Amino acid sequence: MRLDKFLCEMNLGTRSQVKSYVRRGQASVNGVTAVDPQMKIREGMDEVAFRGQILCYRKNVYYMLNKPAGVVSATRDNTAPTVVSLLKDCGREGLFPVGRLDKDTEGLLLLTDDGELAHRLLSPRKHVDKTYQVTVERSLETEDILRLEQGVDIGEEKPTLPARVQVLEDSVIRLTIQEGKFHQVKRMLQAVNRQVLALKRVSFGALELDQSLEPGQYRELTPEEILSLQDCGDGENSRDRRNGQDA
């Protein structure tokens, strides 16, 4: 909806009055003063304020964190800083990480207060792709790559789902998996006799790590990124690539 239409619907004035209010800097969207009365707002997603009063409250918030090593993916911990403590200045309570990265893993972590979306993204039935940049102690042979791509035994009831491997350098690969088992990437590499030296998540579903974020930095997702996550796992891209095995 257009901002001026929204302000009219909130009974703040006629169309021409609200336009002039916007041009005088009296409205803001997501904390930023609006300049264009015709700008599009997404109700329920954008926070619209008029003369400092919030009119349209965002039900949920979504942050991308570049998780540094040494921080735990939890809301509370007695021994180490948590990913939630890194976002304490964002002014929103009730945030939690969507899934976990190991303490020594870096990279993309989504934090939100939207339990419904988190539940869907983490559902094993959705097979949401997660891509990791993995540094191993020794380069992989073609045969190792084929094994990872087909699925390996990591000591679970079933082998891992088919993965995708892209070799970036001798001992650096990108591994895309559809599951999120405990220490999964490390266990998969262990299955082909490689130790993981460094692990960084670079994408989660359609969401890609913003390269401008230094470890420990975070930013809000754009409306487009939120929508892309809401569609995650509903398409064919990440679904049922396994042969005759079911999650």
Could you say whether residue 179 binds ligand URA (CB under 6 A)? no
Among 128, 191, 199, 229, binds ligand URA (CB under 6 A): 199
Q: Which is nearer to ligand URA, 97 or 233 (CB)?
A: 97
Q: Which is nearer to ligand URA, 125 or 183 (CB)?
A: 183
Identify the DSSP state of 40. B
Could you say whether residue 156 binds ligand URA (CB under 6 A)? no
Q: Is 170 a catalytic residue?
A: no
Residue closest to 110 by CA, chosen among 102, 119, 99: 99
Could you say whether residue 113 binds ligand URA (CB under 6 A)? no
How many other C-beta atoms are found inside a 10 Å radius of the C-beta of residue 3?
A: 22
Q: Which is nearer to ligand URA, 61 or 199 (CB)?
A: 199
Residue closest to 164 by CA, chosen among 60, 241, 83: 241
Q: Which is nearer to ligand URA, 112 or 131 (CB)?
A: 131
Q: Which is nearer to ligand URA, 120 or 201 (CB)?
A: 201
- Quote the least distance from Cβ 105 to ligand URA, whole Å: 3
Helix (H) or strand (E) holding 9: helix 3-9
The answer to whether residues 34 and 27 touch, using CB atoms and an 8 Å cutoff, is yes
CA distances from 135 to 174, 180, 194, 198 (A): 9, 19, 10, 5
Catalytic residue among 46, 77, 102, 210: 102
Could you say whether residue 140 binds ligand URA (CB under 6 A)? no
Among 28, 66, 105, 178, binds ligand URA (CB under 6 A): 105
Among 109, 185, 191, 232, binds ligand URA (CB under 6 A): 185
Per-residue interface string for the shown chain with ligand URA, residues 64-103, x marking contact by CB under 6 A: -------------------------------------xx-
Cα-Cα-Cα-Cα torsion 77, 79, 83, 88, nearest 10 degrees, comes to 80
Alpha carbon distance 159, 236 (integer Å): 21
Could you say whether residue 112 binds ligand URA (CB under 6 A)? no
Which residues here bind ligand URA, judged by CB under 6 A? 101-102, 105, 183-186, 199
Residues belonging to the active site: 102
